[in-house]
Amino acid sequence: MRLDIFLKLSRLLSRRTAAAAACQEGRVRVNGTTAKASRSIATGDIVEVTFDDIPSEFVVIKVPETKQVSKKEAALLVSKKG
């Protein structure tokens, strides 16, 4: 699954366009490297998103198989690291 879609489905970012813009601005890193919106995400990846100059790290627990997930299921996709 694409990174920008995953960020939207996990509700780390509100819209796919916002996720793509964050990737383009270099505010999203996966496993320590700056990631493009088209990068594939896998279980166990560490995603770091910078919100207002404060980095937050998350571990991907599950990658959804569908393009829509419930709010309850979205909370189970990532775990806060640290």
Conformational region of residue 25, where left means phi above 0, alpha means psi within -120 to 50, and beta covers everything else: alpha
Average per-residue pLDDT for the chain = 94
pTM score: 0.92
What fold characterizes domain 3-80? 3.10.290
d(CA 41, CA 51): 20
pLDDT tens, position by position, 38-77 = 999 999 999 999 988 899 999 999 999 988 999 999 999 9
d(CA 4, CA 28): 10
Domain ranges of the chain: 3-80
pLDDT at position 81 is 81
Does the pLDDT value for residue 82 go beyond 70? no
